[in-house]
Amino acid sequence: MKTRTRFALGIFFGAICGAVLAALVLKLPPVRQVVGDYAFDFEIALGRSIGGHLFTVLTILGALAGAAAGGTGGASDRLADSDVPNEPQNNGENLVFLHGYNVNPQQARGVESEMFKRFYWSGSMAKFYGVTWNGAVTQGYIPGIPNVTTDLQTNEVNALLTASSLAAFLGNLSGETTVAAHSLGNMVVLSAISDYGATPSHYFMIDSAVAMEAIDGTVSPAANMINSQWTDYTNRLWASEWHDLFPTNDARSKLTWNNRLGNLASVDIYNFYSSGEEVLREQPNPTPSLIGVAWDDIFDGTPVASYLWALQEKEKGLMGGNEVLSSDHGGWKFNDQWYGIAGEHMAAGTAALLPDSQLQTNAFFDVSSDFVGAELFTADTALYGSDGSAYAAANRDRILSDAIPALTLPAGANVLTILDQPNNPHNFDMTSSSLQNGWPEARFTGGEHNNNWYHSDFDYVAYPFTCKLFEQIVTLGNLK
């Protein structure tokens, strides 16, 4: 009986969320339109036989992505129509979806399946492609916590290494192509567009875990993105500004997030962000010292993974290693070995007098780690040498990821005005009545006591609550 009910509800919401449910919703209470719980989901086959493949899959792992971005365990590619005999009739267009960070190949299959269903229920008749990429390196690194990926930086590099394969794949598709990506998956897509000339017709960023300045170099730094130990020091001394000390023909001048992914050509890009984000939330200064403040004081007292994106930027250089949260070199680490005085950082006023020529070969931030043995990291001192430019060119994305802090907030929690066109908004706040169809009751009974759209709610919260997001994308992308 329960299964039958679920099936019936699935058909009901899946088929008519757009047309009829909206009318019904207007007759329900304004905020708590509880038509299910967010643990509730639909296990239905939409009238097609179970057992065959429902959508196409591109797995960019292993050799396809290059050894550095490789991984194992993904589903085999299913790219031909004959590989997906159960795919419903399609309109000849393509919808390509990329998952985010902390999603292993097995989990990717789950997310892709869910997205396929949600877009289909929302009226998409495009061929659906789920793209699996290697964004979960260090998942399970901490014993006893199997589903947490602790090292964002390595997976950022993987995202950038994956982009060329994605661009090649998109270039070979026939018909109009729409791309949607979640979280760090957006770094793959943005790089495919900016670095490799991919030109999808429409691109939808969802909860994009990419600094705004990487997309729009004119976005102003956010005060709360500056590590509070450095606010008294002139920004000429910061790792984020070190690139400015070099001429444009020196690759060290490219060691900045500013405009790193800003070559967007004429691609029609939409930003579905959430002002209620927890993972991409602005972390009010002071910046916590992870030595002075306990890990669980930060993370156990907030929604799971709150502030994580901001903290990994603000803690660059300050960690005890490179596998958890952030890095132990570059970033906001003072170069006290050279500039410290009696165990103290050089005073801000004195540091401001350091000449550019000296900072070029010995930065005020420390490019090395302090640790000994195998964990001692000194490779980036090559930036100071005669081959510094070549070293920067060869290691640009890795250095950006683990040693150069972004100073702007992430696009997935903020308006990216460069995308808007006159009379044609391209930024949509998902924490809003126009994209939330009510919200799970549990969110109103504890914790923040509100309807914040959290980082993975596009997937975790049941379709009846989130259907407007998918319908909006289907409409804007002309996917029907």
Q: Please, what is the minimum distance in Å from the beta carbon of residue 135 to another protein?
A: 19
| Of 51 and 373, CB closest to another protein | 373
Distance in angstroms (rounded) separating the CA atoms of residues 14 and 42: 9
Q: Which is nearer to another protein, 151 or 397 (CB)?
A: 151
Instruction: Report the length, in residues, of the chain.
Output: 480
CB-CB contact of 17 with 464 (8 Å): yes
CA 245 to chain centre: 30
How far apart are CB 448 and another protein at their closest, in Å?
A: 4
Cβ closest to another protein, residue 134 vs residue 150: 150
Residues 6+ apart with CB under 8 A from 445: none
In order of 87, 148, 257, 415, 420, the CA distances from 217 in angstroms are 42, 32, 8, 14, 15
Check residue 218 for interaction with another protein (CB under 8 A): yes
Residue 424 engages another protein in binding (rule: CB under 8 A): yes
Interacting positions 356-395 with another protein (CB under 8 A): 373-375
CB of 341 to another protein, least distance (A): 26
Q: How many residues bind another protein (CB under 8 A)?
A: 84
Neighbours of 83 (CB within 10 A): 15
Shorter beta-carbon distance to another protein: residue 296 or 344: 296
> Which of 178-186, 192-200, 303-311, 360-368 is the region at the interface with another protein (rule: CB under 8 A)?
303-311
Residue with Cβ nearer another protein (281 or 345): 281
Residues within window 136-175 making contact with another protein, judged by CB under 8 A: 141-143
From residue 111, how far is each of 245, 324, 459 by CA, in Å? 44, 25, 7
Among 266, 353, 357, 386, binds another protein (CB under 8 A): 266
Amino acid 369 reads S
The CA distance from 201 to 126, in Å, is 13
CB of 295 to another protein, least distance (A): 4
Is residue 373 within 8 Å of 287, Cβ to Cβ? no
Q: Which of residues 21-50 bind another protein (CB under 8 A)?
A: 21-22, 25-31, 33
> Given candidates 8, 39, 223, 304, which one binds another protein under the rule CB under 8 A?
304
300 belongs to the binding site for another protein (CB under 8 A):
yes
Task: Pick the stretch among 156-164, 173-181, 235-243, 412-420 that binds another protein (CB under 8 A).
Answer: 412-420
Q: Taking a C-beta distance cutoff of 8 angstroms, is the pair 156, 322 a contact?
A: no
Cβ neighbors of 311 (< 8 A, separation 6 or more) are 283, 287, 288, 298, 325, 326
Nearer to another protein, 8 or 19 (CB): 19
Interaction of residue 302 with another protein, rule CB under 8 A: yes
Residue 288 structure tokens? 């916590």
| Order of strands, sheet of 177-182, starting from the edge strand that comes earlier in the sequence | 56-60, 127-133, 94-98, 177-182, 202-206, 268-273, 427-429
Residues of this chain, 425-464, that bind another protein according to CB under 8 A: 425, 427-429, 431-436, 438, 442, 444-452
**Closest Cα partner for 108 from 185, 6, 36?**
185
Element (H, E) at 269: strand 268-273
From the CA atom positions of the chain, what is the Rg in Å? 23
Q: Which of 47, 51, 247, 292 binds another protein (CB under 8 A)?
A: 292
Q: Which is nearer to another protein, 169 or 470 (CB)?
A: 470
Neighbours of 438 (CB within 10 A): 19
Comparison of 313 and 429: residue with beta carbon closer to another protein: 429
Q: Of the ranges 97-105, 189-197, 212-220, 397-405, which one interacts with another protein (CB under 8 A)?
A: 212-220
Is 291 among the residues that bind another protein (CB under 8 A)?
yes
Helix (H) or strand (E) holding 273: strand 268-273
User: How near is the Cβ of 18 to another protein at its closest, in Å?
Assistant: 5
Angstrom distances, CA of residue 108 to CA of 35, 92, 347, 439: 27, 24, 49, 25
Binding range to another protein, per CB under 8 A, among 232-240, 287-295, 332-340, 347-355: 287-295
Q: Quickly count: other Cβ atoms within 10 Å of residue 252's Cβ.
A: 23
Token pair for residue 201?
């017709």
Alpha-carbon distance 96 to 76, whole Å?
Answer: 16
Q: Could you tell me the smallest distance in angstroms from the CB atom of residue 446 to another protein?
A: 4
By the rule CB under 8 A, 420 interacts with another protein: yes
> Which span sits near another protein by CB under 8 A: 61-69, 100-108, 188-196, 320-328?
320-328
Interface pick for another protein out of 10, 36, 135, 276 (rule CB under 8 A): 276
User: Is 363:242 a contact under the CB 8 Å cutoff?
Assistant: yes
Phi, psi of 427 (to 5 degrees): -115, 130
Does position 475 interact with another protein (CB under 8 A)? The reply is yes
Residues 117 and 454: their CA atoms lie apart, in Å, by 21
- SS3 call for 78: strand
Report in angstroms how near the CB of residue 9 gets to another protein at its nearest: 18
Site residues for another protein, window 99-128 (CB under 8 A)? Answer: none
Q: Tell me the closest approach of the beta carbon of residue 96 to another protein, in angstroms.
A: 23
